[in-house]
Amino acid sequence: MNVLRFLGNELKKWAIGIVAAAAVFGLCTWLMTLAPEPVNQQETAAAAPVTKRTAKVVETGTGVTVMSAEDWASKYPEIYASYKANSENAEIHDYVEQYPMISTVYEGMAFSKFYGSARGHTYTVDDVTATGRPHKLANCFSCKTPNFTAMVNELGDAAYQLNFEDVLTQVNEPISCYNCHANTGDELVVTHTYLADALGDDLQKVDPATLACAQCHVEYYFDPETKATSLPYHDLASMHPDAILKFYNEELLVDGQPFADYTNPRTGVRQIKAQHSEFETYMGAGSVHASMFTCADCHMGKATAENGTTYSSHTWTSPLENQALLDDSCSKCHTDLAGQVKAIQEKTEARTNEIGYLLQDLTEKLAAAVESGDYTEEELNPIRAVARDAQFYWDFVFVENSEGAHNSKLDSECLDKAEALTNQALGMFK
């Protein structure tokens, strides 16, 4: 790498600048993964790498009463105001209309009919109760409200089996302070224990400011027996989509069959429905972001209070909407980071759409083959298996909200596999 050789030479010349130069290298390496267009390295300023902190996990069975965001408003007025500003992000896009192929690709589950885009976190309870997707059990509240999170921490897996409507009567706010801080005020605490269970000893390898977001921005499934929200891995290494797919195909069996979120009624394919896999993508192979920066560094910019003190804004936004961050940090290594990210996202979006329609064609062709009666189950099942895998790799990218910006390398690899598997399945018809 040219940057590495440059810094090596400079360090030999200016030993006195070793600490600052090392920090610059960390920042530039992170930003260069988005797009390879750095400016003159001599113009860069020092930026400290992430300081790894120890993650604390919530104590369960303590009968905690959740302190609401409003309870903290007088102590942290600026942070409270920034949290409330999430309500300004109120727009919802209809994905079924925007991506018509999912009516076919997701056929057999409610996402094929009702699928709205994410918006401000202050709307989580409104959105989960208003959606047209049925939710019989309370496990649908897992990432929507601290009231249910505290309930799980008190009752254990039994909470997941409670009736949705019964729990709704006990919900009084959306995602809030307790989810990331318990009732501590400013200490970061993992309150969603399924994340700690999934990462095991590797939990301490991830900064708490990333774990806070990872509690919800993950791929998950509901345990077939307990209905508990669960993650399909047991450490950082097994978070890779290849390993996750293997877990679903070979380890998580239901009545001898690989786990499925739903079955397509026309094709008989037992499908996996991937969920917002930001954490797995961000931490995955091909990304160096996580070794240098936390989720909060980019999505919770620093702000200044009237008394001159700084605090982390709790208005969760894209870093591209934070001009101060772009000017003070990103511009040191990128002349047009916003343009570069846009190019990555447009390329990822185009490929995702293209392969989505290819999956739609595969679904229709497989449905026709089933209906024709010209194929035996022994002939259809191998096609179904390949189609299942193809959709998983595609969906892993489709539901990941950065559209390639978090880890374009991993997203490209997943789309390559999705495309190859879809074509393989299409070639299996007689």
Q: Which of 26-30, 79-83, 93-97, 169-173 has the lowest mean pLDDT?
A: 26-30
The pLDDT score that the predictor gives to residue 296 is 94
Residues 308-352: tens digit of each pLDDT: 999 999 999 999 999 988 888 877 777 898 999 999 999 999 999
Helices within 141-176 (DSSP H only):
146-155, 164-168
The pLDDT score that the predictor gives to residue 50 is 53
Q: Residue 92: what residue type?
A: I
pLDDT > 70 in the chain, percent: 88
CA distance 218 to 29: 25
Q: Check if the beta carbon of residue 276 is closer than 8 Å to that of residue 399.
A: yes
Average pLDDT of the residues of the chain: 88
CA distance 74 to 90: 26
Residues 200-234: tens digit of each pLDDT: 999 999 999 999 999 999 999 999 999 999 999 99
- 3: pLDDT confidence band, cut at 50, 70 and 90? very low
The pLDDT score that the predictor gives to residue 419 is 98
Residues 231-261 as b/e (b if ≥16 CB within 10 A, e otherwise) read bbbbebebbbbebbbebbbeebeeeeebbbb
CA distance 206 to 214: 10
Q: Does domain 56-231 have CATH number 3.40.50.720?
A: no
The DSSP secondary-structure symbol of 289 reads S
- 51: pLDDT confidence band, cut at 50, 70 and 90? low
Residues 260-292: tens digit of each pLDDT: 999 999 999 999 999 999 999 999 999 877 788
- 48: pLDDT confidence band, cut at 50, 70 and 90? very low
Residues 165-199: tens digit of each pLDDT: 999 999 999 999 999 999 999 999 999 999 999 99
Task: Give Cβ neighbours of residue 106 (< 8 Å, ≥ 6 apart).
Answer: 112, 115, 262, 271, 273
Q: Check if the beta carbon of residue 86 is closer than 8 Å to that of residue 53.
A: no
The DSSP secondary-structure symbol of 137 reads B
Q: Does domain 338-426 have CATH number 1.10.10.1100?
A: no
The pLDDT score that the predictor gives to residue 386 is 98
The DSSP secondary-structure symbol of 301 reads -
